[in-house]
Amino acid sequence: MTTYKGINGFAVQSVATDPSPLDEGQVWYNNATYAFKLAGLSTVGTWAAGGNLNTARQGLAGAGTQTATLAFGGATPPATGATELYNGTSWTTSPASLNTARNSLAGFGTQTAAIAAGGYLNLNASESWNGSSWTNTPNLNTGRRALAGAGIQTAGLVFGGANQTNTESWNGSSWTAVNARNTSVDENSGFGTQAAAVAFGGYPSVTTTENWNGTSWTASGNLNTGRYAMAGFGIQTAGVAAGGYTTGATELYNGSTWTTNPNSMATGRGNVAGAGTQSLGLAFGGTPPLSVATEEFTGPGAGSTKTVTVS
């Protein structure tokens, strides 16, 4: 008779806690819950509640990963420079705030090395974060609000905003105007790197998407749901668009096309910020109403555990 050991070369393990990380098809017996378990992979992305921001706001910016996130700026109202750090469970308010309080700004980088640029009212102010404080850096060439950003502290990009097509590149010390977007939209969103970014959506309910190759913008596949002021996170070939006025709709991007994810955010909102990757992302803040909500996104392909039953 064919056995599990005969097929796989080893017997089913008996363990007190489920193993981690999981390998698809892995089978084990949990002797604490008296159940056989099977490891699979999720086929769609899922949202779960995270810890609330300390300051409810909209139009804020974010940088970092799901377990090491930076949130800064926004409007409470009025505009704020408040800065908070997320550890994967809860937010801590930093004693240091932005030097220029503002909302509808762009942000990119990590929790310990980020850039804040632009914002309301059509500001050209730029600041650098070192993990504990903000320092003024050279200004953008074109002041604007509702722009988007991508990249890291020493190699970034900002684009669009306030019905502009302007794109500027950041090298860690100065901003340089580069080739503009093909479409002029307000409140576009974005993600990616300085050499491979994505710009999408905008007011009013725009579906337009463009890819940046380090030199120029090219039209790509449209969003399935037109909207503006949404959260974006990921890289050009694996990104997420979430929320936007006034929906929780979530879409996944593969570099050329968008696919609607069956699971939406629990709280639909616009002017929401995002951080992380398509596998492990984060969306926080937003309006209406003014929100402290944080939601954690786990993308398709994540390990999942199923209990084996006889039914």
Residue 202 placed within a domain: yes
Chain segment 142-200, per-residue pLDDT in tens: 999 999 999 999 999 999 999 899 999 999 999 999 999 999 999 999 999 999 999 99
The answer on 110 and 9 residing in a single domain is no
Task: Yes or no: say if 278 and 11 are a contact pair by the CB < 8 Å rule.
Answer: no
- Residue 89 pLDDT: 97
Residue 311 placed within a domain: no
The answer on 36 and 154 residing in a single domain is no
The answer on 289 and 194 residing in a single domain is yes
The range of the structural domain enclosing residue 102 comes to: 46-298
The answer on 74 and 28 residing in a single domain is no
- Residue 1 pLDDT: 57
- Residue 8 pLDDT exceeds 60: no
The answer on 164 and 229 residing in a single domain is yes
- Residue 297 pLDDT exceeds 60: yes
- Residue 27 pLDDT: 87
The answer on 197 and 120 residing in a single domain is yes
- Residue 131 pLDDT level (bands cut at 50, 70, 90): very high
Chain segment 71-102, per-residue pLDDT in tens: 999 999 999 999 999 999 999 999 999 999 99
The domain total for the chain is 2
Chain segment 98-119, per-residue pLDDT in tens: 999 999 999 999 999 999 999 9
- Residue 306 pLDDT level (bands cut at 50, 70, 90): confident
The answer on 127 and 100 residing in a single domain is yes
Which residue do the tokens 């929780």 mark?
Answer: 248
The answer on 128 and 223 residing in a single domain is yes
The answer on 93 and 125 residing in a single domain is yes
Residue 59 placed within a domain: yes
